[in-house]
Chains A and B, each alone.
Chain A
Amino acid sequence: MLVDLLQQLFNGLVIGSIYTLVALGLTIIFGILGIAHFAHGSVAMFGGYLTYFLILALGIGVFPAMALAMAGGALLGVVLERVAYYPVRNAPPINSFIIALGLTLIIEKSNLLLFGVDQIIVPTGFNRIFTIGGLALPELRIYILLTAAALVVALTILIQKSWMGMAVRAVAQNRAAAILMGINVHAVSMFVFALSSALGVAAGVLVGALFAIAPGVSGGLVVKGFAVLILGGLGSIPGAIVGGLVLGVSETFASAFVSSAYKDVIAFLLMIGVLLVKPEGIMRRSVAR
């Protein structure tokens, strides 16, 4: 029984770490620009597809391919910010909301046109399974957890310690004061979109390695991402980390001990529960800390 619990906890943390990566991007964008960036899931899928084709075309390993795809994702993020969101920065929020929906469709269909309709699995070559005291720890899942953890740590250091990270937090907390300090808010927006999209791409690659990428996967991913945001508190980085892991573990426990049919219901139950009991999220903090 204990082994079962630990096994499900491990599986849950692996999936949760992917949710965390998706949610981090969404939460930083929301914290800075107040935009619900629904297209984030499609950007993630774009990254997964791109990595798959880079591995096939260049014959490189999954990590270099992922790094290239993340750079591509960052570039795509900047383009999205400039072309789609920047022009409506002073308009009422409903504008960016509609644009976000439109972008989702555009990127989703572009993925179809660019990469086809077939389901793909990102090849990693990590096939070993370690067994420790009855726990089955597939090599692939360990690498996923480590990759996600490394990215989260890197992001935290960047946001907490670098000048750019300080600028990001300053804009989230007090936009006018940030301008008075000499911070270029538009540059910060572009940086945030680049950073978030690169993280989203990483999440897409990990989904593609763990499960598969196919048209339609992005919708589920972005819903989970927003569930995490509501769980952890909109705009909160620690909230996205904790919320993602909580969602992943809850889902895995529910499908292992209740029924796998209810797996996807969990996200919504958690979301409704948090909204009823603690609507500011379990970690009430802005992009701040």
Chain B
Amino acid sequence: MLAVTDLRIAYGKTEVVHGVSFDVAAGECIALIGANGAGKSTILKAICGLIPPSSGDIRFEGRSIGGLPGHAVARLGICMCPEGRQMFPEMTVLENLQLGAYRRRSEDISGTIDEVMTLFPRLRERASQLAGTLSGGEQEMVAIGRALMAKPRLCIFDEPSLGLAPKVVDEIEETLMKIKNLGVTILLVEQAVSMALRVADRAYVLEAGEVVASGTSQEISNDSRVQSAYLGG
């Protein structure tokens, strides 16, 4: 479904992603793991059209999308739940969710709103509250819900657990499992490696802008380098 080939990305003259390749098949959940600064978020931004790649190819359902503007990528059905949650702070929870369905604005979205609120009952209680006034965990639910509102073909999660209490991280993990079981194709970027590996089918390990290991989540969990670097083993 998504195929990234030899992707290179530079900020100015400094190349930060050096020829990364990976792919995501329909219905799969893939994790990109690695330390801070490994280039994970940069790769996601390039896929979503927020920054242009300097070379390499990004193909989505056979079509090259590298360098396409962000809104055009979103309209193809690639939806991102961004790092730091990125609320529309002075809009209500309901309006945030509605905006998630912007690409489906000619359709009736009330059914989808209901589905998202069933997934996150807390959002139903808070529907008319301003998103900026919610707790971090609740904002993460809005961000995930907002991404699902688009009925994405590929849903990208960028550090969904970042800055959240451990108990909330467990909730996020459960939610990701639920979304995966709904059949949504997922690309997950996480620093919480053990959590990511429990959710994902396969994983790629990034270090300093390069893929240094890849395989099924099981294989990656048993990889000694990954264990010593990320899993405290």
A286 contacts B by Cβ under 8 Å: yes
> Knowing A166-B98, A167-B102 touch, does A184 contact B88 (C-beta < 8 A)?
no
A180 proximity list for chain B (CB < 8 A): 48, 50, 70, 74, 79-80, 82, 86
Determine whether the beta carbon of B50 is less than 8 Å from that of A176.
yes
Q: In whole Å, how far is B70's beta carbon from the nearest beta carbon of chain A? A: 4
Determine whether the beta carbon of B88 is less than 8 Å from that of A177.
yes
Determine whether the beta carbon of A177 is less than 8 Å from that of B86.
yes
> Knowing A166-B98, A174-B86 touch, does A181 contact B91 (C-beta < 8 A)?
no
Size class of the B contact interface (CB-based, 8 Å): 20 to 34
Determine whether the beta carbon of B70 is less than 8 Å from that of A179.
yes
Determine whether the beta carbon of A181 is less than 8 Å from that of B150.
yes
Size class of the A contact interface (CB-based, 8 Å): 20 to 34
Determine whether the beta carbon of B90 is less than 8 Å from that of A288.
yes
A128 contacts B by Cβ under 8 Å: no
Determine whether the beta carbon of A174 is less than 8 Å from that of B74.
no
Determine whether the beta carbon of A173 is less than 8 Å from that of B74.
no
Determine whether the beta carbon of B87 is less than 8 Å from that of A174.
yes
Determine whether the beta carbon of A181 is less than 8 Å from that of B87.
no
Nearest neighbor of B101 in chain A, beta-carbon distance:
A181
Map CB proximity to A onto B55-69 as digits: 1 under 8 Å, 0 otherwise: 000000000000001
Which residues in window 137-184 of B have CB below 8 A to A? Answer: 146, 150
Q: In whole Å, how far is B142's beta carbon from the nearest beta carbon of chain A? A: 11
> Knowing A163-B102, A170-B88, A173-B89 touch, does A182 contact B75 (C-beta < 8 A)?
yes
A224 contacts B by Cβ under 8 Å: no
Determine whether the beta carbon of A163 is less than 8 Å from that of B86.
no
B39 contacts A by Cβ under 8 Å: no
> Knowing A170-B99, A181-B99, A181-B100 touch, does A176 contact B82 (C-beta < 8 A)?
yes
Determine whether the beta carbon of A183 is less than 8 Å from that of B71.
yes
Instruction: For the complex, give the distance between the alpha carbons of A178 and B71 in Å.
Output: 8
A182 proximity list for chain B (CB < 8 A): 71, 74-75, 102-103, 150
Determine whether the beta carbon of B102 is less than 8 Å from that of A174.
no
Q: In whole Å, how far is B157's beta carbon from the nearest beta carbon of chain A? A: 12
B71 proximity list for chain A (CB < 8 A): 179, 181-185
Q: In whole Å, how far is B76's beta carbon from the nearest beta carbon of chain A? A: 9
Please count the residue pairs between chain A and chain B whose beta carbons lie under 8 angstroms apart in the complex: 74
Determine whether the beta carbon of A163 is less than 8 Å from that of B87.
no
A40 contacts B by Cβ under 8 Å: no
Q: In whole Å, how far is B81's beta carbon from the nearest beta carbon of chain A? A: 9
A37 contacts B by Cβ under 8 Å: no
Determine whether the beta carbon of A173 is less than 8 Å from that of B90.
yes
Instruction: For the complex, give the distance between the alpha carbons of A166 and B71 in Å.
Output: 15
Q: In whole Å, how far is A99's beta carbon from the nearest beta carbon of chain B? A: 24
A289 proximity list for chain B (CB < 8 A): 90-91
Determine whether the beta carbon of A288 is less than 8 Å from that of B74.
no
Q: In whole Å, how far is A236's beta carbon from the nearest beta carbon of chain B? A: 10
A263 contacts B by Cβ under 8 Å: no
Q: In whole Å, how far is A179's beta carbon from the nearest beta carbon of chain B? A: 4
Determine whether the beta carbon of A181 is less than 8 Å from that of B74.
yes
Instruction: For the complex, give the distance between the alpha carbons of A177 and B149 in Å.
Output: 14
Determine whether the beta carbon of B89 is less than 8 Å from that of A181.
no
Instruction: For the complex, give the distance between the alpha carbons of A180 and B149 in Å.
Output: 12
B50 proximity list for chain A (CB < 8 A): 176, 179-180
Beyond A178-B88, A178-B99, A182-B75, 11 additional pairs, beta carbon < 8 A: A166-B91, A166-B102, A173-B88, A173-B90, A174-B88, A174-B89, A180-B80, A181-B103, A182-B102, A286-B90, A289-B90
18 CB contacts below 8 A, A to B, read A166-B91, A166-B95, A166-B99, A167-B99, A169-B88, A169-B91, A173-B89, A174-B87, A176-B50, A178-B88, A179-B49, A179-B50, A180-B48, A181-B99, A181-B103, A182-B103, A184-B69, A286-B90
Residues on B lying within 8 angstroms of A by beta carbon are 48-50, 69-71, 74-75, 79-80, 82, 86-91, 95, 98-100, 102-103, 105, 146, 150
